[in-house]
Structure 1
Amino acid sequence: MATFKVKQVKSRINAPKDQKATLLALGLRKIGQVVEIEDTPSNRGMVRKVFHLVEEVK
């Protein structure tokens, strides 16, 4: 299955609880951490929810 990489680039300190939980669900815990996740609609939706805190790594 296809995958893509996501990197956390901003802090989650002032983010709402649901966005903090989304970052944890994606496996992101620290700034600069990169995770590889499956390219599914649900994962894309989670990334879209926290788009201001993450970036997609090519």
Structure 2
Amino acid sequence: MAKIKVTKVRSAINRRKDQKLTLEALGLKRIGQSNTLDLSKSVQGMVNKVNHLVTVEEI
């Protein structure tokens, strides 16, 4: 299974509540914080929802 590294690069201030909760579900709280995740359909959907707030790298 592929792995991705997701890094939060923008603030969640003035964002919808569902986007804030999605960032928390991805394990991202602070700007600059990264998390390594297995790429699944559910994770891919969450990343697509907040793609303007994060950067994604394939590992």
Category of TM-score, reference length = shorter chain: over 0.9
TM-score normalised to structure 2 length: 0.92
What are the ranges of 5 or more consecutive residues in structure 1 without an aligned counterpart? Answer: none
Output one character per residue of 1:18-52: Cα deviation in whole Å (capped at 9) or x when no partner.
00000000000000001001100100000000010
Between the two proteins, the alignment pairs up a number of residues equal to 58
Distance 1:2 1:14 in 2: 32
Structure 1 stretches of 4+ moved >4 Å: none
> What TM-score, normalized to structure 1?
0.93
Does 2:35 match 1:32?
no
Identity of aligned pairs, percent?
A: 52
